[in-house]
Amino acid sequence: MKVVLFCGGLGLRMHPTTETLPKPLIPIGEKPILWHLMKYYAHFGHKDFILCLGYKGEEIKKFFLNYDECLSNDFILTEGGKKKQLLKSDIEDWKITFVETGLNVDIGQRLKAVKKYVESEETFLANYSDGLTDLPLTKEIDFFNKHDKTACLLSVKPFYVFHVVSADNGYVTSICQMTQSNMRINGGYFVFKNKIFDVIKEGEDLVNEPFQRLIKQRELMAFEYDGFWASLDTYKDKQRLDDLVLKNNASWQLWKNHDQT
C-alpha cells in the first residue's frame, strides 16, 4: 500500500531547532525521525511513499537527493575508490513522491492535495510523521479490513506524568506523581479507504470536521495498542528517544533483526 506522510508542519514546540530544520528531519540517534518511520513501513513491505511537504520542504528534498547509503551500510570499495558495492541497502527499493502542499495548511488539506497520487488505491496508509511505535502493523490493517469502514486510527496510551498537588490555606500538604493511565489518544498510524476524500471539504482539518462526520456515520474505527508508542513533540521527547537508541532499546526498529539475517 502507498504511505502518505504529513511533513509540512512548523514544529513550533521544537524551536529553535526547527528555525533551520523541519521537524521530520530532527535526528533520533543518527537518522531523522522521518527515516525511522519510513524504515518501519518498509519493514512491512510498504515502500511507496508520498511526502506532503510544506515548511522547509526543500530541506527534506535535499536530504534524500544527497543521501549516501554507504555512510550507513556495509560496502566494498574497489578500483581505487571508483567502484562501490553495497552489501545491504537502506532506501534503494523505495519510491518517494515529493509534493508541495503549502505552508500554513491543515492536515486535511494536505491530504486532499495528494489525492491524485493515491486515487488508484482502494486503501492507503497515512501518518503524522512524528510518532514511533513497535505496533505489528499487519494487525491494524487486518482489523481495518475486517470491519470494512472508511478510516482507522491507532489508539494509544500516552506517557504523561503529572505532579498532583494538595494544599490547605495555601500550604502544600502533599505532592505525588501520577499518570493518565486510563486515557487514550489518537496516535496517528491511519488506514484509509479512498472515499475519505469525499468526507473532507475545502479548508477543513482532518480530525475536527471529517472525523466527526465519520463518527456519526460509524465509519471511524480505533485500533487499540498498549505497546510502545512515543511522539516527538518536545526536547524531552527527543532525549527519551535518543536514549533508547543509545541503549539499543529502540523497540520501533523492527527492521534490525531482519537486516541482520
The stretches in the chain having pLDDT less than 50 are 260-261
Strand pairing partners for 172?
A: 167
Longest dimension (CA), the chain: 80
Q: Phi, psi (5° rounding) for residue 162?
A: -120, 150
Q: Which of 235, 137, 245 is nearest to 187 (CA)?
A: 137
What Å distances lie between residue 235 and 17, 53, 114, 170, 248, CA to CA? 10, 23, 31, 32, 20
Per-residue confidence (pLDDT) for residue 246, from 0 to 100: 93
Q: Cβ neighbours of residue 38 under 8 Å, at least 6 residues apart?
A: 3, 5, 49, 91, 94
Say which residue the cell 527519551 belongs to: 240
- Rounded distance between C-alpha atoms, residue 230 and residue 236, angstroms: 11
Per-residue confidence (pLDDT) for residue 179, from 0 to 100: 62
What are the cell numbers at 210?
471529517
Could you tell me if 230 and 240 are in contact, meaning their C-beta atoms sit under 8 angstroms apart? yes
Per-residue confidence (pLDDT) for residue 123, from 0 to 100: 97
Q: Which of 260, 186, 171, 170 is nearest to 224 (CA)?
A: 186
Per-residue confidence (pLDDT) for residue 261, from 0 to 100: 40
Q: Which of 96, 109, 107 is nearest to 51 (CA)?
A: 96
Per-residue confidence (pLDDT) for residue 260, from 0 to 100: 46
Task: Set out the domains of the chain in order of their start, with CATH numbers.
Answer: 2-157+185-259 (3.90.550.10)
Q: Which of 185, 186, 161, 235 is nearest to 12 (CA)?
A: 235
